[in-house]
Structure 1
Amino acid sequence: MDFTKEKFQLLAISSLTLPWLISLAFNYHHPALTQTLLSGLAVVSASFLISWAAETAEMDVPRSFSLAIVALLAVLPEYAVDGYFAWKAGSVGGEYVHYATANMTGANRLLIGIGWSLVAFIAFRTLKSKEVELDDGIRLEIFFLFLATLYAFTLPLKGHISPFDALVFVSLYAIYIYLSTKAEREEVEVGGVPAYLCSLKTETRRLSVVVLFLFAGFTILMSVEAFSEGLLETARIAGIDEFLAVQWIAPLASESPELIVAIYFVRRFRVSASMNALISSKVNQWTLLIGTIAIIYSISAFKLQSLPLDARQSEEVLLTAAQSLFAVAILLDLKISWKEASALFLLFIVQLLFPGVEVRYIISAIYIILSLPILFAKRKEIVESFRTVKRLIS
């Protein structure tokens, strides 16, 4: 098989990291906007490399375990950006405390509002259907997303993310990962660059995966501070709300490869694989990411303490939890219709275009009001999800 196109893609994406890495090597300082663009381009390119390496690595790990691990690896750039803000929040304080939460809530809402709905719309068109059915294996993700969402509603009430909260969220993710090793998964059929890498000899393939992971990790490590600080400075110069820039632009850059890969799966009629990957990513961002930023905040401050949530942050967490509840309610029956996908998209767009306090509360209320009757109507599906987890435990 001719992999000329795939080789070019791998080379091209890798090359896009070089402008920023060369600037660092020669200690060349750019204006804020250029710094943001070059370092952001490096992060996005590294994200693609991680996604390709993670998908290729599925050949050498158990299939049942691969989905959760790939989903985790795919969002490492998001963890790096949010981890940076959490570290600065603990060591410097000030506005960085707000930015850590802003980036986390933005990433979570973007994943559902744009990611889930966009994949669903493409699936409707590809399959020529107004409803998409998902496989039964997704119940594990739905169950843990449901638990994490219910617990997340306590955070705005307390006004902080405590070390205990971090322990709860990280434990939920650890249990989810453990159970995912027992769950049956769809066999993965790779394409694009991963298909080229999988065609290599075993030793060469494994070495390539390690090199890609190390290079991408190094690139992200060397770019995340410049991207984060450049984004803040660019927002100040342009007169844009820094909170909103951190909340939406940073996650859009770090998660774009993940969305592109999901769309690629849908175009190949692998809708369940695409949605499974996005939902698994939502699980780890809504559990491990929340726990991680609280832990990094304490480590950076050299003492065990809670990450504070002011009024604005509490509203954002409430809105994110409400959206998550609505998304879980929709998927409980393992189906998503064009009306439900439209609701996810439109409600997200409204909160994006009108970022006011009243709008956040109104949209939160709409999410919850819509969710409750759906949850009641699908209560048997909740029980079935619990039974799925119970079977995996036993």
Structure 2
Amino acid sequence: MFLKEKIFLGIAVSAALPWIVSFLLSVQYAPYVEALISGIAIVSAAFLLSWAAETAEKDLPRSLSLAFVALIAVLPEYAVDLYFAWMAGKVGGDYIHYAAANMTGANRLLLGIGWSLVALMAMFKFKSREIVLDEGIRLEFFILFVASLYCFVIPLKGQISIFDAAVLFCIFFFYLYVATRAKKEEFEPVGVPAYLCCFPATKRRTSVVLLFLFSGFVILISVEAFAEGLVKTAKIFGIDEFLMVQWIAPLASESPEFIVAIYFIRRLRTTASFNTLVSSKVNQWTLLVGCLALVYSIALGSPSELPLDERQKEEFLLTAAQSLLGVAIIINLRFSIFEAFALLILFLAQFVYHSVEMRYLLSFLYIVLAVPMLLVHRSEIAKSYRHVMGLLR
């Protein structure tokens, strides 16, 4: 019983061992080899963290488990980004650019690839040209709508300030508070967490703690090597360092969430699948953005604004515009095959031409498409607002 789950758990732990041994023995590799081995270790740690967090839900009060899992789940995604933010405060230079690059890449990848592909898979699974989501996901969409509107202010100012961080933290923790009052699905572990939940209480809790400690250790010893390895690899092969940090690093940290979402689709739980991706988007668009300014200030030793150059302002605007369209598309709890392909094609279009004009054009297209849809569905926005207020009563 649970043979497949035991194999998955063994693979995840084993995949991190080469970098652990290399780190402890101070083995030196070429930058691209170092980035690969440490990157695999981070992906492994991300899977172990997600499994441990889901298993922990069995032993925690529902409200506490929600906050706990939400915070734990984002650690692998934030590790590289916060490293760059820290180095931006300590060293400055290109590290300032890299911090924003990783954040915008993670956000756009999650929506442009994650949402669209999961929707298309669900449509294929249900043999339908449209999927319908449950009312319970209105909270996530409303919070994402508010955060997306606020984030348009940041590229206009050209900086992420401590005030911005405070506002975004308030949005995130308001989301957590309201979510604890929402009616949730009964806890139903699947995969590796289902295997771990079969353990007696003491053994299960010990296993969860060990998985957290092991994953945290792996991330701690891997993040610098992975981040620096990516930058050096880009320089060696003449690749744009900004693009390497923007897309390769998020691919590594986002992969477990995509797999969890796909697993939910296979179990015909479409709303649960989208809830995984939308919650992650809320986390990244509020907590992550705010943490950049906070960590940068701590590294500098005083409250400071994380500056955005012209390229970063363009990327931030594009990310905010994409987020707004994402909300506009499914604020009515329906996602059509046309809308899924539109999100995917617009996301892929940015790789055709790497120019200032292309980034502004795409931002314009996202906004031009989003605004009429939001106006048409303004009653849905009001309905989502009433849903959130109802949860507070």
Residue 347 of structure 2 aligns with which residue?
Answer: 348
Match of 2:354, SS?
coil
Q: Deviations over 1:153-211 (max 9, x none)?
A: 01111110111001000111011111111011122322211110011111111111111
Q: Percent identity?
A: 60
Moved over 6 A (4+): none
2:134 is aligned with 1:148: no
Q: Is residue 47–residue 77 contact of structure 1 (8 Å, CA) maintained in 2?
A: yes
Q: Is residue 72–residue 281 contact of structure 1 (8 Å, CA) maintained in 2?
A: no
Residue 237 of structure 1 aligns with which residue?
Answer: 236
Cα distance change on mapping 1:265 and 1:230 into 2, 3 Å: same
Residue 384 of structure 2 aligns with which residue?
Answer: 385
Structure-2 separation of matches of 1:115 and 1:212:
26
Q: Is residue 162–residue 306 contact of structure 1 (8 Å, CA) maintained in 2?
A: yes
Give 1:330's aligned amino acid: I
Structure-2 separation of matches of 1:378 and 1:64:
31
Structure-2 separation of matches of 1:354 and 1:264:
34
Structure-2 separation of matches of 1:379 and 1:188:
34
Structure-1 separation of matches of 2:279 and 2:384:
15
Residue 219 of structure 1 aligns with which residue?
Answer: 218
Q: Is residue 66–residue 176 contact of structure 2 (8 Å, CA) maintained in 1?
A: no
Give 1:340's aligned amino acid: E
Give 2:214's aligned amino acid: F
Structure-2 separation of matches of 1:300 and 1:98:
16
Residue 89 of structure 1 aligns with which residue?
Answer: 88
Cα distance change on mapping 1:321 and 1:232 into 2, 3 Å: same
Q: Deviations over 1:313-362 (max 9, x none)?
A: 00000000000000000111111111111111010000133221111101
Residue 254 of structure 1 aligns with which residue?
Answer: 253
Q: Is residue 71–residue 277 contact of structure 1 (8 Å, CA) maintained in 2?
A: no
2:66 is aligned with 1:56: no
Residue 358 of structure 1 aligns with which residue?
Answer: 357
Match of 2:302, SS?
coil
Match of 1:286, SS?
helix
Q: What does 1:61-140 correspond to in 2, within 5 Å? A: 61-63=60-62, 66=65, 69-140=68-139
Residue 317 of structure 1 aligns with which residue?
Answer: 316
Residue 161 of structure 1 aligns with which residue?
Answer: 160
Match of 1:336, SS?
strand
2:28 is aligned with 1:29: yes
Match of 1:132, SS?
strand
Shift of 1:69: 4.3
Q: Deviations over 1:117-145 (max 9, x none)?
A: 11101101111111111111111111111
Deviates more, 1:135-144 or 1:84-93: 135-144
Q: Deviations over 1:210-230 (max 9, x none)?
A: 111110011001000000000
Give 2:92's aligned amino acid: G
Structure-2 separation of matches of 1:347 and 1:68:
33
Give 2:355's aligned amino acid: G
Q: Which runs of 5+ in 1 are unaligned?
A: none
TM-score (norm 2): 0.98
Q: Deviations over 1:274-310 (max 9, x none)?
A: 1001100000100000000110000000011100011
Q: Is residue 56–residue 198 contact of structure 1 (8 Å, CA) maintained in 2?
A: yes
Cα distance change on mapping 1:107 and 1:265 into 2, 3 Å: same
Shift of 1:64: 5.8
Q: Deviations over 1:246-294 (max 9, x none)?
A: 0000000111111111111111111110100110000010000000011
